[in-house]
């Protein structure tokens, strides 16, 4: 079953912050985050392998709560270039069956 992301869509002004959540009904052993620009393929942002791990990429960071089976993506001081659809992804418990969350559409306005 797909992880559920929230919110489904968000609109920001440049410089504002946003949080995107990813929640799974099954145990998460790792969480990956991807960004997809309109009309393009998804591109890998970051991977979190351990519960409690946090990572950053530019002004984008993420956390992973293994016990709650949740991950959150934090976008700080958003830029126009952050617009796109964000997906969390996971390859499950020791398999390579790679599934994605439902996606969050983010639009940053000038």
Partner 1 sequence: DAEITQSPRHKITETGRQVTLACHQTWNHNNMFWYRQDLGHGLRLIHYSYGVQDTNKGEVSDGYSVSRSNTEDLPLTLESAASSQTSVYFCASSSGGPSGANVLTFGAGSRLTVL
Binding mask 26-65 for partner 1 (x = CB under 8 A): ---xx-x-x-----xxxxx--x-x----------------
CB 73 within 8 Å of CB 14 = no
Euclidean distance between CA atoms 49 and 63, whole angstroms: 10
Residue 15 CB, nearest approach to partner 1 (Å)? 28
The answer to whether 29 and 19 are in contact (CB under 8 A) is no
Closer of 14 and 40 to partner 1 (Cβ): 40
The residue range among 51-59, 62-70, 74-82, 99-107 that interacts with partner 1, by the rule CB under 8 A, is 99-107
| Count of CA atoms in the C-beta half-sphere (13 A) of 19 | 5
Strands 70-75 and 4-6, sheet pairing: unpaired
What residues line the site for partner 1 (CB under 8 A)? 1-2, 5, 8, 29-30, 32, 34, 40-44, 47, 49, 87, 89, 91-103
């Amino acid at each position: 079953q797909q992880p559920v992301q929230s919110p489904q869509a968000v609109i920001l002004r440049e410089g504002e912050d946003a949080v995107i959540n990813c929640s799974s009904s099954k145990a998460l052993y790792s969480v990956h985050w991807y960004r997809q620009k309109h009309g393009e393929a998804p591109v890998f942002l970051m991977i979190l392998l351990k519960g409690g791990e946090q990572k950053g990429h530019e002004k984008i960071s993420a956390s992973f709560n293994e016990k709650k089976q949740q991950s959150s993506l934090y976008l700080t001081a958003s830029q126009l270039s952050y617009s796109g659809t964000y997906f969390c992804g996971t390859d499950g418990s020791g398999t390579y069956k790679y599934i994605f969350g439902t996606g969050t559409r983010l639009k940053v306005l000038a």
